[in-house]
Structure 1
Amino acid sequence: MGDERHGDPKHSGAVDPVGQGGVDTFTNPGLPPHPPRITDVDPKAEKRAERQVMVLFIISVIGTVLFFFGYFGVGHTGIEIGTKLRLQNTLIGLGTAFAMLGIGLGIIHWAKALMPDHETAELRHEIAPESQRAEAQEIIEQVLEESGMKRRKVLRNTLLGAAAIAPLPAIFMFRDLDRSQLGAHDMVDRLRHTMWSEGVRLVRDPSGLPIKAADVQLGSAFHVIPEGLNELHEGKLNEKAKAVVLLMRLPKDKMKVSPGRETWNVDGIVAYSKICTHVGCPVALYEQQTHHLLCPCHQSTFDLTQECKVIFGPAGHALPQLPIKMDDEGYLVAQSDFQEPVGPSYWERG
Structure 2
Amino acid sequence: MSIKPHDQASGGELATPAEPIADPGLPAHTWRPTDVDERLAKRAERQVAGLFALSAVFTILFFVSYFVFKVGDNWDVGAGLGASTVALGSTLGLALLCIGIGIIQWARKLMADHEIVEMRHPARSSDEDREVTIAALGDGLEESGIARRPLIRNSLFGAIGVIALAPIVLLRDLGPTPGQVEDEEEGKGLEHTIWKQGVRVVRDVVGTPIRAADLQIGDLVNAVPDGLFDLEGVDLQAQKAKAPVIVVRMEPDEITPGPGRDDWSVEGIVCYSKICSHVGCPISLYERTTHHVLCPCHQSTFDLADSARVVFGPAARPLPQLPLAVDSEGFLVAQSDFTEPVGPSYWGRGE
* TM tier, smaller: 0.5 to 0.7
- Asked whether the 8 Å contact 2:63–2:169 carries over to 1, the reply is no
Confirm or deny that 1:169 pairs with 2:172.
no
User: What TM-score does the superposition give when structure 2 sets the normalisation length?
Assistant: 0.53
1:229–1:240 Cα contact (<8 Å) kept: no
Distance in 1 (alpha carbons) for counterparts of 2:240 and 2:284: 20
Tell me how far 1:199 sits from its aligned partner: 1.8
C-alpha spacing 1:177/1:237, structure 2 compared with 1 (3 Å)? closer
- Matched with 1:98 is 93
The 5 Å alignment of 1:101-250 reads 102=97, 118=116, 120=118, 123-124=126-127, 142-149=139-146, 156=153, 158-174=155-171, 194-203=193-202, 209-213=207-211, 221-222=222-223, 224-227=224-227, 230=230, 237=235, 241=239, 244-250=242-248
Unaligned runs of 5+ in 2: 1-7, 36-40, 76-80, 120-124, 182-188
SS at match of 1:245: coil
Partner of 1:340: 340
Work out the CA distance in 2 between the residues paired with 1:262 and 1:35: 94
Alignment equivalent of 1:293, drawn from 280, 292, 295:
295
Q: Deviations over 1:210-245 (max 9, x none)?
A: 4324599956634x235489479xxx9499659942
- Check 1:302–1:67 CA distance in 2 against 1; reply closer, same or farther (3 A cut): farther
SS in 2 for 1:259: coil
* Candidates 64, 71, 90, aligned match of 1:69: 64
Mapped partners of 1:252, 1:332: distance in 2: 15
Question: Once the 2 structures are TM-superposed, how far is the Cα of residue 327 of structure 1 from its aligned partner?
Answer: 3.3
Between 1:315-324 and 1:260-269, the stretch displaced more is: 260-269
The 3 A distance-change label for structure 1 pair 138 and 251 is same
Distance in structure 2 (CA, Å) of the matches to 1:160 and 1:37? 37
Alignment identity in percent?
28
Tell me the distance in 2 between the aligned counterparts of 1:35 and 1:177. Answer: 63
* Superposition deviation, residue 29 in structure 1: 3.3
Q: Deviations over 1:55-91 (max 9, x none)?
A: 98678546634541343112499659xxxxx958746
Query: SS at the partner of 1:64?
Result: helix
Report deviation, 1:324. 2.4
Q: CA deviation at 1:158?
A: 4.8
Q: CA deviation at 1:301?
A: 5.5
Matched, 1:29 2:1: no
Contact 1:201 1:226 in 2 (8 A): yes
Say if 2:293 and 2:302, in contact at 8 Å, map to a contact too.
Answer: yes
Amino acid in structure 1 at the alignment position of 2:63: F
2:316 maps to 316
Q: Is the 8 A contact 1:198 1:335 kept in 2?
A: yes
CA RMSD of aligned residues (A): 6.2
| Contact kept? 1:198, 1:334, Cα under 8 Å | yes
- The 8 Å contact of residues 194 and 243 in structure 1, kept in 2 or not, is answered as no
Distance 1:76 1:219, change over 3 A: closer
> What TM-score do the two structures reach when normalised by structure 1?
0.53
Gaps of 5+ in 1: 1-17, 81-85, 184-189
Deviations 1:180-208 (A, max 9, x none): 9969xxxxxx766654333211356788x
Distance in 1 of aligned mates of 2:282 and 2:229: 20
